[in-house]
Amino acid sequence: MTPPQRQRRDPAPEPSTPQEGDGKVKNPERMYVVAGPDGERAELDLVTLIVARATDPPPSASPEQAAVLRLCAAPLSVAELSAYLHLPFSAMGVLLTELLTAELVKARAPIVRQARTDRSLLEAVMNGLQRL
């Protein structure tokens, strides 16, 4: 028994572009904005700490923006925010850029601590305590 043979369909004709009355091509409306008008994003990396400046989100804030403002009452890194909100880093970058532009959050570098304390300082403290 032979399997049924499929026949190829002719490709669908391309839809015509919408035209305005004067012959110019009308661009479709953008349903959302990915970045600001100049397309620039804030310089953020995964360890940048985000702190909310406002205690309550404004009424015009999106649900994601409101969640970021609530979470950032204490400093959180971009990686932590991304994990808590289940958003990729690229989406968090856009979201945080909007919040930074509106001055609702503040970004700062993480606090860098020394990997090890100076051994000579510890020995001096220990010797001083032993003399007491």
pLDDT tens profile 3-59: 777 776 766 666 665 555 555 666 665 555 555 555 566 778 888 899 999 778 888
Q: Can you give the length of the chain in residues? A: 132
- Which tens digits make up the pLDDT trace of 69-110? 999 989 999 999 999 999 998 888 888 988 888 889 999 888
Q: Look up the pTM and report it.
A: 0.56
Please indicate, yes or no, if residue 25 is contained in any of the structural domains. Answer: no
Select from 52, 45, 62 the least CA-distant residue to 100.
Answer: 52
Please indicate, yes or no, if residue 105 is contained in any of the structural domains. Answer: yes
Please indicate, yes or no, if residue 129 is contained in any of the structural domains. Answer: no
Please indicate, yes or no, if residue 75 is contained in any of the structural domains. Answer: yes
In which domain, by residue range, is 66 found?
49-110
